[in-house]
Amino acid sequence: MDAAREEIARLLEQSTRLRKSLRELTRQVEETRRHANHDELTGLPNRRLFKDRMRQALAQAARKTRLVALVLVDLDGFKAINDSFGHSVGDELLRIVAERLNGSTRLSDTACRYGGDEFVVLFPDLSDMASVEAVTAKVRACFDKPCVLGGRSINVKASIGCAVYPDDAEDMGDLLHRADKAMYGFKIGGARKRDEANEGIATE
């Protein structure tokens, strides 16, 4: 009887160790997967995960005859902020922007840090252009309030471009290209306006 009790106790202890090992292995696998699919600085999905979700969104939109909006965001003057206040402040700005963009999305949407100071937001399953305009406005609103960086309140602006499937393009590469072109046009237009304003001030 004592030997049986000892064997049961040994097996229970072994089972407990195995469960702990399994939990730790599961945690490690999840952590590895997270690092593979998410940006380390902001925690947003990275380019790899984003493109996978975009493929799924376009395939679903083709089946259901829906729209997909792709909104590309490039921070204006990010290098100047890094140079003036340091890279730690620049990193904090990226985290704040990531949090705001993520907060502007639905569960079905995806905000991604696409690289450097560039972000992209995927809005799948939209019904019409009014819905596209609404989600784009939500992205623009992320830059309405200043960011508090290193104890300073800084107004951060962004150049934003939007492309819509299937109106602007019918595949992922072309859609990204159209959004980038729209964003670049927005950036050039903003720079022209600033130059004109500066010229006006100088003339006075």
Q: List active site positions.
A: 117
Q: In what order do the strands lie in the sheet with 110-115?
A: 110-115, 118-126, 67-75, 158-165
Burial class for 184, CB neighbours closer than 10 Å (0-12, 13-18, 19+)? middle
Question: For residue 126, which amino acid is it?
Answer: L
d(CA 46, CA 35): 9
> Which residues in the chain belong to E strands, given as ranges?
67-75, 110-115, 118-126, 147-149, 152-154, 158-165
Return the SS3 of 154: strand
d(CA 194, CA 191): 5
